[in-house]
Amino acid sequence: MRTLARRRLTATLALGASGVATLIGLAFLAAILWTLFSRGIGGLAWRVFTQTLPAPGSSGGLINAIYGSVVMTLLGVLIGAPIGILAATYLSEYGRRARLSVVIRFINDVLLSAPSIVIGLFVYTLVVVPMGHFSALAGAISLAIIVIPVAVRTGEDMLRLVPQSMRHGSAALGAQPWRSITSIVYPAARSGLLTGVLLALARVSGETAPLLFTALNNQFWSAKLTQPMANLPVVIFTFATSPYDDWQQLAWVGALLITLFVLLLSIVARLISRLFGVPESRVE
């Protein structure tokens, strides 16, 4: 027979342990951010934003890597987001109850958690091998493939939030479904769709694995999409695992920049959804 005192003690200990677990979780976040700031801030200098990647032992910056990251992530989102939102439009508007939609939703959810390095291998065989060399375009395509499932998931969630009565009202005025969708449903879901795109952008801006063998890396300034292009994640990987101190320092700066950017995006996305009363879409 368990006494009440013992049961109370168990409850206190167990719930106390849950608080400790939360503290540990928060400590991880704090530790990572603290390390990033303390090691990254010291290396932040103007040359980071004005000079290209250095050779070992000489001074330089990250500008070509930053440029490459911006170009490839933007291109990836520009390709992936419209495809994803159109697919979401099918799932939410045309085929809401279709059997095909059930399959697509399921496959999309699986792709959402699929290992990104496999996407890199896929684009390698699909684009890099036929082209004969690594290229920024291949990098952007692999990022686009990662954007699609995120855009489909958030897109469908957001489009479904638009009340049916608005679609019916539009249809009653004689509008074809496509006109209702583009003139009524999309504008109504605007802030939600924007949140989804921002989340997708956050998701791919730190992606490294798929860029390793698609965009590769480039020590020099290059704006050609058909050529290998430097990008922050791969530079961080290469520089951090190198034995050179100044390279490692730049890797920390790069890591700090990426993390700040991604955290900022996530926070902005949250703010938008809160300001406009959009429930957060779960992306995991």
Footprint of another protein on residues 135-164 (CB under 8 A)? 145, 148-149, 152
Q: Does residue 79 touch another protein according to CB under 8 A? A: no
Q: Does residue 183 touch another protein according to CB under 8 A? A: no
Q: Which of 18, 58, 164, 165 binds another protein (CB under 8 A)?
A: 18
Least separation in angstroms between residue 220's CB and another protein is: 18
x/- letters, 88..117, toward another protein (CB under 8 A): -xxx-xxx----xx-xx-xxxxxx-xxxxx
Least separation in angstroms between residue 66's CB and another protein is: 15
Q: Where are the alpha helices (DSSP H) in the chain?
A: 4-40, 46-50, 63-89, 99-112, 116-123, 129-131, 136-160, 164-172, 177-180, 186-188, 190-205, 209-212, 232-240, 245-275
Least separation in angstroms between residue 52's CB and another protein is: 20
Alpha carbons 85 and 97: distance in angstroms, whole number: 18
**Within a 10 A sphere around the Cβ of 170, how many other Cβ atoms?**
18
Q: Considering the complex, state which of residue 29 and residue 165 has its C-beta at the smaller distance from another protein.
A: 29
Size of the site for another protein (CB under 8 A): 91
Least separation in angstroms between residue 185's CB and another protein is: 12
Q: Does residue 270 touch another protein according to CB under 8 A? A: yes
Q: Does residue 282 touch another protein according to CB under 8 A? A: yes
Q: Scanning residues 184 to 213, which ones bind another protein (CB under 8 A)?
A: 202, 205-209, 212-213
Q: Considering the complex, state which of residue 109 and residue 246 has its C-beta at the smaller distance from another protein.
A: 109
| Distance in angstroms between the alpha carbons of the first and the last residue of the chain | 44
The separation between CA 111 and the C-alpha centre of its own chain, rounded to angstroms, equals 14
Q: Which of 53, 216, 230, 253 binds another protein (CB under 8 A)?
A: 216
Q: Scanning residues 43 to 72, which ones bind another protein (CB under 8 A)?
A: none
Q: HEC states along 47-96?
A: HHHHCCCCCCCCCCCCHHHHHHHHHHHHHHHHHHHHHHHHHHHHHHHHCC
DSSP three-state, residue 14: helix
Alpha carbons 152 and 197: distance in angstroms, whole number: 10
Q: Which of 29, 99, 130, 164 binds another protein (CB under 8 A)?
A: 29
Q: Does residue 5 touch another protein according to CB under 8 A? A: no
Q: Does residue 32 touch another protein according to CB under 8 A? A: yes
DSSP three-state, residue 276: coil
Q: Does residue 35 touch another protein according to CB under 8 A? A: yes
Asked if 71 contacts 244 with a C-beta cutoff of 8 angstroms, the reply is: no
Q: Scanning residues 232 to 261, which ones bind another protein (CB under 8 A)?
A: 233, 236-237, 240-241, 248, 251-252, 255, 258-259
The Cα-based distances of 228 to 62, 64, 72, 140 in angstroms read: 16, 12, 11, 11
